[in-house]
Amino acid sequence: MSLPAESLEPVELLSQDGRVATDQPSSGQPKLRAGSIWAFLGAYLGAYLILIVPVATTLAIKVSEVAGDQRESALGVIAGVGALIALLSNPIIGAFSDRTTSRWGMRRPWIFAGVIVGFVSLMVLAFAPSVLVVGIAWAFVQLSMNAVLAGLAAFLPDRVPEVQRGKVSAFTGIAQQVAPFFGLLVANIALGMGGGTAGMFVAPASLGLLLILVYVFTTRDRVLSPNLRQPMRFATVFQAFAFNPRRNPDFAWAWLGRFLITLSFAAGATYQVYFLNDRLGVDMATVATLQLGVLLLTTVLLSVSASISGALSDRLKRRKVFVFVASALVATGSLVTAFSFDLWVYIIGAAISGIATGVYFAVDLALVTEVLPNKETAAAKDMGIFNIANALPQSLAPAIAPLLLAIGGGGNYTALFIGAAVVAILGALTVIPIKKVR
């Protein structure tokens, strides 16, 4: 189906005092056209093809090849350092993006530069001969791709009117969550054609690069007039991480909820490949193929649950109940996995998690955009702060998980997933105090 693309020239508006203002969405703005939405969703999928496929599978396989018996500790260090870089870079780049006055827009220059550097860095990682090179390359992948994510995250508050945010948020959640499936599908095809581990990196990353470039060259962006640009000082770097929980309690609770749910996900996801290998006896040569089959099931479930929950959330004008129920289901899926010693029990746990993931990511992002402290002038910066809740757990989980795994002598995946369930329950409770959103 052919979808219309908007003009590359952004529209500038005059503010009441006659100054040129940015093109900002409001409740009275016409609905965004399908071409822009589909281009954005494609770019979001592309970014996660580049970033999440290694997190889910291929980075662990690569580390296993170059680190041997030290694979668990090496993966923990590499994943933790990479996540720390993501944590630091996303809000800082978001703050720079909020002050970018390029005629090409506020976000597109960062997205374009980020995806080019990220793709090249991932190619270095794919052919890396040692743990050190893998670690350095992954650090650059995280840095550059968080520039891409910072720009894409601002699309909802920048361009999408409130009447569409639930649906667009739902499809954004679907795009993020189906990325591992499509990425592993492409990676397995590359592996089957003789591409080896390197091909498993190159193929999905190439598709991701193409999807992001389509967005960059076809979709309109906000343009900031220089006379409205806020000054960028050295202190701004530190301010990029600052928000006042007392002034913005709803945003603080939303942030904490995402942090806890992401920590729950990350605790299990980081070691999923080794769980399948150690607990269920799946050979490392076939673990990616098994993951692909499980992801096919969960992709269908999360797509259906996200579509239904996103539409219902918009219609009922309620967000909190969906996020609460989804968080509780995340805990349930973790508990089932904790006690799975059979592949079919593991698949049941994965199915529950798939449904939960669809509902959660469909609605939570819409909830967050409605409680941003300053969506008019600092949307990317605020979304960057929120993305710390995505990045920080990925840094903490590789450090915390080995402590749980070590209980009783090592390899205690039951303790790991019980811990993940407890964290998810705490995440569900953070929704209750939010007042601005129903």
71/351: higher pLDDT: 351
Q: pLDDT above 90 covers what percent of the chain?
A: 20
Instruction: Please tell me which of 96-100, 189-193, 227-231 the model is most confident about, judged by mean pLDDT.
Output: 189-193
Average pLDDT for 337-366: 87
Compute the half-sphere exposure of residue 126: CA atoms within 13 Å on the CB side of its CA. Answer: 24
pLDDT surpassing 50 at residue 231: yes
- Tens-digit pLDDT profile for residues 32-59: 777 888 999 999 999 989 987 887 778 8
| Domain contains 6 | no
The whole domain housing 209 covers: 33-221+234-429
| Domain contains 10 | no
Cβ burial of 166 (10 Å; 0-12, 13-18, 19+) is: buried
Helix (H, G, I), strand (E, B) or coil at 14: strand
CATH number, position 152: 1.20.1250.20
Indicate the residue type of 134.
V
Q: Whole-model pTM above 0.85?
A: no
| Domain contains 281 | yes
pLDDT surpassing 50 at residue 14: no
Residue 303: both structure tokens together: 């797509």
- Tens-digit pLDDT profile for residues 71-130: 777 887 888 788 788 878 877 887 788 888 788 888 899 999 999 999 999 999 999 989
Q: Are 197 and 58 in contact (CB under 8 A)?
A: yes
| Domain contains 180 | yes
| Domain contains 95 | yes
| Domain contains 229 | no
In degrees rounded to 5, what are phi and psi of residue 13?
-110, 155
User: Cα separation of 423 and 335, whole Å?
Assistant: 11
Instruction: Please tell me which of 179-188, 267-276, 365-374 the model is most confident about, judged by mean pLDDT.
Output: 179-188
Helix (H, G, I), strand (E, B) or coil at 263: helix
Q: Number of structural domains, the chain?
A: 1
